[in-house]
A and B are shown apart, each in its own frame.
Chain A
Amino acid sequence: MLSLKDINAWYGLSHVVQGISLDVRPGEVAAILGRNGAGKTTLLRTIMGLIDRRSGIVEFDGTDIMQMPIHERYHRGLAYVPEDRRIVPGLSVRENLRLGFVGLRAKAEEEAVIAEACETFPRLRQRLDQEGVTLSGGEQQMLAIARALVAKPRMILLDEPSEGIMPVLIDEMYELFKRWKQQGLSVILVEQDVERALEVADRAYIVDQGRIIFAGTAKMLLNDREMQERYCSV
């Protein structure tokens, strides 16, 4: 599905991602763990083409998408929910959702799209006409995920979806991630909350100083307390 080969990325002079390679199979959830500043967010941004200084190969469904225009990834079925959610200020919840399909070549039915988003996240239903940025952190996260799902992606990159969110909403979100697995949606999940992430993940990677220092099944990492504490505790 997604295959990274020797990915490097730089912010100015600092070499943030240093030769990362990994594969995500269809329907697999890959957890990427590690401390703050390890390069996890930069790795996702590099996959999306949002970092200018980058090298390596990002193969999605067999084609190298590294040099593709940023927006083209979405049309190929690769969605991304950034860490800060990026709900657009000045736009209502409904308009934020509409933003998920106005760029699609095959025009979606607005009402059908909204209804589906509300079915996935019933909390959004009463808030459709409210400005998106006035929602609580958890609701904004749900809106951001719902917006990314509009195009029915085959793979979704999630950057710390549980950060700063009420535990009850985190539970709701992780229930959704489990359902995705049954539907065959591939996920790269960047998380601080190691236990949560390993609960849904098939494979786990630990990134430290821009390199992968652990790669294995989620179960292997779950049993390796020392590894978890050394590289993942905040």
Chain B
Amino acid sequence: MDLLLTQLATGLALGSIYVIVGLGLSLIFGMLHVVNFAHGAFFMVGGYVGVFVFAKTGNFWFSLVAVPLVVGVIGMAVERVLIRPLYGRNIDDPLLLTFGLSYIFVEVIRITFGLEGIPFGTPRELRGAVDIGVGFIPLYRIFLVALTAAILIALWLFLEKTSYGLIVRAGARDPEIVRVLGIDISRVWLFVFGLGTGIAGLAGFLSAPIQSVNPDMGVPVLAEAFVVTVVGGMGSLVGSVVAGLLVGVVVSITSLFAPDMARVSIFILMAVVLLVRPQGLFGRKGAMG
């Protein structure tokens, strides 16, 4: 029983990464109607930027702030230069563009940093384990859950309590009236793409101590992030949170009983959700159309 509970806690920590990645993907889709196939690549770039900044500064906390900023700026440049010309066109166009872009990112990283992964140890401040009553779990995992909670609260406050958040919420529902009311929505799209990719980069750096940083680390993450957004409902932020944690727990519990099945389990979860509730747990019906 205790083992199950510690595994559940591990699942929530793993789920935290999924939540952050899925949130970015969902935010970008809900607002820009762009299915960002480069999301995993931004995640991977975040891992490298973090390892690089940490190697130069030796400061984990500084790296933690620098990563989303650097990756977010790269994301904004991509939106402005590559994605913007495709607005108003078929939804497949930005999808294909970001798909191609993800390969370019991976190759650039391979050429620059090599094919081999770069190991990254847990930062000194966050080593050790904590007794959560039912057993010990690594401090770093508790840190992940706490940081995710902090990000969620910050995002919620931003969306619900600020004027800019109001614009983002309105723009996701009805971009035309937002423009008619004097708001330059292209700036909002730029910002949201930067935000979504920035937090994907952050997630990449956060997962560095769990897995090593390597050029292909974004590939499974992209698939997992899609599972999260499909299970939660495309464009629903609450959905991303619930589905992200759910996916983390499912992977973690499955790896306890049938380790070989862990990777596949989330796709089974997705298939079940799609059969029972095609729009996802928190999705609006027909939101894709």
Q: Which residues of A contact B (CB under 8 A)?
A: 48, 50, 52, 69-75, 79-80, 82, 86, 88-91, 95, 98-100, 102-104, 147-148, 151
**Closest chain A CB from B229 CB (angstroms):** 19
B183 in contact with A86 (CB, 8 Å): no
**Given the interface contacts A50-B176, A86-B174, does A98 sit within 8 Å of B181 by beta carbon?**
no
A224 to B179, CA, bound (A): 40
Partner of B169, one of A52, A73, A91, A103: A91
Bound: A82/B178 CA distance, A: 12
Contact B170 A70 (CB under 8 A): no
Q: Is the CB of B183 within 8 A of A91?
A: no
For A80, give the chain B residue with the smallest CB separation. B180
Contact B182 A86 (CB under 8 A): no
| Complex Cα–Cα for A70 and B169 (A) | 19
Smallest CB gap from A147: residue in B: B181
8 contacts between A and B (CB under 8 A): A70-B179, A71-B183, A74-B181, A88-B169, A95-B170, A99-B177, A102-B183, A103-B182
In the complex, B116 has a CB within 8 A of chain A = no
Taking A69-B184, A74-B181 as known contacts, 14 extra A-B pairs with beta carbons closer than 8 A to each other, sorted by chain A number, are A50-B180, A72-B182, A86-B174, A86-B176, A90-B169, A91-B166, A95-B170, A99-B181, A102-B163, A102-B164, A103-B167, A103-B181, A103-B182, A148-B181
Cβ–Cβ < 8 Å partners of A151 in chain B: 181-182
Q: Which one of A48, A102, A147 contacts B167 once the chains associate, using CB atoms below 8 Å? A: A102
* Interfacial chain A residues near B183, Cβ < 8 Å: 71, 102-103
Q: Is the CB of A75 within 8 A of B182?
A: yes
B170 contacts A74, C-beta separation under 8 Å: no
Contacts from B to A (Cβ < 8 Å): 88, 163-164, 166-167, 169-170, 173-174, 176-185
| A19 smallest CB distance to B (angstroms) | 25
Instruction: Determine the residue in chain A with the shortest Cβ distance to B170.
Output: A88
A90 to B177, alpha carbons, bound, how many Å? 14
Given contacts A99-B166, A102-B163, contact A88 B182 (CB under 8 A): no
Contacting residue for B166 out of A52, A82, A98, CB 8 A: A98
Cβ B184 vs Cβ A88 within 8 A: no
Whether B180 and A88, one on each chain, are in contact in the complex, defined by CB atoms closer than 8 angstroms, is: no
User: Given A75-B182, A102-B183, A103-B182, A88 and B177 touching (CB < 8 A)?
Assistant: yes
The answer to whether residues A71 and B177 also contact, given A91-B166, A98-B163, A102-B166 and a CB cut-off of 8 A, is no
